[in-house]
Amino acid sequence: VKLRTWNPGDAEALTNVLVGSFDHLRPWLPWVRDEPLPREQRIGLFETWERDRLNGGDAYYAITFDDDLVGGCGLHRRIGPAGLEVGYWIRSHMSAEASLRLRRCC
């Protein structure tokens, strides 16, 4: 399992993961109802996330397993000046082994 920053090459893979996991993610992630985003909008979002991270704001990362995109996570500065809230989501059709490895990391 690896965490890395998002890049433009992730746009299509992220859309596919989200579309395939709508029912699984919607109860927990209100922003999923706005999916799928157009490619250009998604890339703009990645650019905004990277600017925020570099400026000390929230940080968003892709979660990969064996080089396949399986989810996303974020470090959010909304619980106070010295704290970070960790949030993550994974696609609904992960293998049991991949899901277990991911939970061990998180």
Domain boundaries, the chain: 2-105
Tell me, what's the pLDDT at 13? 97
What backbone phi and psi angles, to 5 degrees, belong to 87? -130, 145
How far apart are the C-alpha atoms of 46 and 41, rounded to whole Å?
A: 9
Say if residues 17 and 71 touch (Cβ distance below 8 Å).
Answer: yes
Q: For residue 79, give the DSSP letter.
A: S
Q: What's the CATH fold of domain 2-105?
A: Aminopeptidase (3.40.630)
What pLDDT does 99 receive? Answer: 67
For residue 69 the two structure tokens come to 């995109």
* pLDDT, tens digit only, all 106 positions of the chain: 899 999 999 999 999 999 999 999 999 999 999 999 999 999 999 999 999 999 999 999 999 988 999 999 999 999 988 899 999 899 988 756 666 776 676 5
